[in-house]
Amino acid sequence: MSEDDARRRDAADPGHRELFHVPPADGGRYAEVAYFAGNSLGLQPCATVPDLLDDLGDWARLGVEGHLEAGRPWLPYHEFLTGTAARLVGALPSEAVVMNSLTVNLHLLMVSFYRPSGTRTRIVIEDTAFPSDSYAVRSQAAFHGLDPDETVVRLRPRPGEENLRTEDVLAYLRDEGDRVALVLLGGVNYLTGELMDIETITAAGRAAGAVVGWDLAHAAGNVPLKLHDWDVDFAAWCSYKYLNSGPGALAGAFVHERHHGVDLPRFEGWWSTEPATRFEMTPVSRPPATVDAWQISNPPIYAMGPVRTSLEIFDRVGMATLRERSLRLTGYLEELLDEVTANRPLTVITPRDPARRGCQLSVRIGDGSASDLTRRLRHEHGVIADAREPDVVRFAPVPLYSTYHDCWRAAQALAATVKEWGRD
């Protein structure tokens, strides 16, 4: 497939690259990088800085009065993100909130939703869970006086396979479900790019009497989600990957409405109470019957601003439209990688079925180190991919701003960098 062909595809199926700052390349023939690391840190929208300067200007102009009089008043600021965040993940407005960071949200949600009792104590995760999630669930088990090694169950793919089969998750829940207190899996696996069957696993976990939560770090802004309809108990996601809100950006949280207004253990602060009661200075809170009850502190406005700006882009373009372009773009990259990997020590480990993945394709390299490879891709070709040591390189063509030409460049660069078998 030729460069001209990639250019023609871009003309016929453009994304929204013009809305983003694309960094300059520090190697190769092109001015801009071919950016495939949006699954790690998304690019900066052009609107982020002007929007942030507006909000900062209100502080300079108004001081404390900005709480009520700013263009976007700070007191209800988080509510400006409610609708867009909820639509992004298929939640009711009462079910989604932007607050804290991802692992912090997982902990706060586990305070309510991990309640081991009797022999029902286990937490089910995937063996390739992101380390933060592993540490979080182990520390929750220990917090309840349980042995993390016995309490945390790590589900593995079958020998010789890369991805976890839904049927194997279901089989575990069928056989051992009465010992499971919490199922907490990644919606899209950070390493392999596998998209789990969230609806089916949620139904099975709940039928087994467990609570089912999802870490959507690699799913939010990548694949369409229907958390409310799928009956998910709770979920959390970060905003710096596909959601383009900047390093360490504020995260999202979802709590299904059936848990609202219910007497659950929850850690509280003054943002947990009804807004109307916030300044009554009473000793006892009156939490709203919404996910807002899980908030604790008044939010950092200048961290929330970039999330607001970015969520509005997703809301304008729409996840359904993005998913369609994503399927075409990732399918194209897959075709190109098939040609490159055919005669080289490289294997795509992401599921081949487009329904079982988002936009990321992960490549296992048979020899050499993943970070050596990504260093060469960057400095010799201006292609930014990311390495997961020892041997996985991840490419995420992001439907908002990646191009077919980027994909073509990545395949060319990989072919030039990794020697063909039998040729030295």
Q: Please state the residue numbers annotated as binding site for pyridoxal 5'-phosphate.
A: 102-103, 130-133, 215, 218, 240, 270, 298
Minimum CB distance to ligand PLP smaller for 58 or for 215: 215
User: Is 253 near ligand PLP (CB under 6 A)?
Assistant: no
Contacting ligand PLP (CB under 6 A), which of 13, 49, 79, 132?
132
User: Is 102 near ligand PLP (CB under 6 A)?
Assistant: yes
User: Is 101 near ligand PLP (CB under 6 A)?
Assistant: yes
User: Is 186 near ligand PLP (CB under 6 A)?
Assistant: yes
Mapping DSSP onto H, E and C, the string for the chain reads CCHHHHHHHHHHCCCCHHHECCCECCCCCCCECEECECCCCCCCECCHHHHHHHHHHHHHHHHHHHHHHCCCCCCCHHHHHHHHHHHHHCCCHHHEEEECCHHHHHHHHHHHHCCCECCECEEEEECCCCHHHHHHHHHHHHHCCCCHHHHEEEECCCCCCCCCCHHHHHHHHHHHHHHEEEEEEECECCCCCEECCHHHHHHHHHHCCCEEEEECCCCCCCCCCCCCCCCCCEEEECCCCCCCCCCCCCEEEEECHHHCCCCCCCCCCHHHCCHHHCCCCCCCCCCCCCHHHHCCCCCCHHHHHHHHHHHHHHHHHCHHHHHHHHHHHHHHHHHHHHHHHCCCCEEECCCCCHHHECCCEEEEECCCCHHHHHHHHHHHHCEECEEECCCEEEEECCCCCCCHHHHHHHHHHHHHHCCCCCCC
Contacting ligand PLP (CB under 6 A), which of 36, 80, 130, 332?
130
Binding residues are: 102-103, 130-133, 215, 218, 240, 270, 298
Minimum CB distance to ligand PLP smaller for 131 or for 145: 131
Contacting ligand PLP (CB under 6 A), which of 89, 210, 238, 407?
238
User: Is 194 near ligand PLP (CB under 6 A)?
Assistant: no
User: Is 218 near ligand PLP (CB under 6 A)?
Assistant: yes
Q: How far is the CB of 181 from ligand PLP (least distance, A)?
A: 20
User: Is 217 near ligand PLP (CB under 6 A)?
Assistant: yes
Minimum CB distance to ligand PLP smaller for 218 or for 308: 218
Binding residues with ligand PLP: total (CB under 6 A): 12
Which range of residues in 5-13, 125-133, 149-157, 385-393 is near ligand PLP by CB under 6 A? 125-133
Which range of residues in 129-137, 262-270, 273-281, 291-299 is near ligand PLP by CB under 6 A? 129-137
User: Is 358 near ligand PLP (CB under 6 A)?
Assistant: no
Q: How far is the CB of 220 from ligand PLP (least distance, A)?
A: 10
Which range of residues in 22-30, 56-64, 100-108, 351-359 is near ligand PLP by CB under 6 A? 100-108
Q: How far is the CB of 129 from ligand PLP (least distance, A)?
A: 7
CA dihedral 207, 208, 213, 219 (to 10 degrees): -70
User: Is 215 near ligand PLP (CB under 6 A)?
Assistant: yes
Which residues contact ligand PLP by CB under 6 A? 101-103, 130, 132-133, 186, 190, 215, 217-218, 238
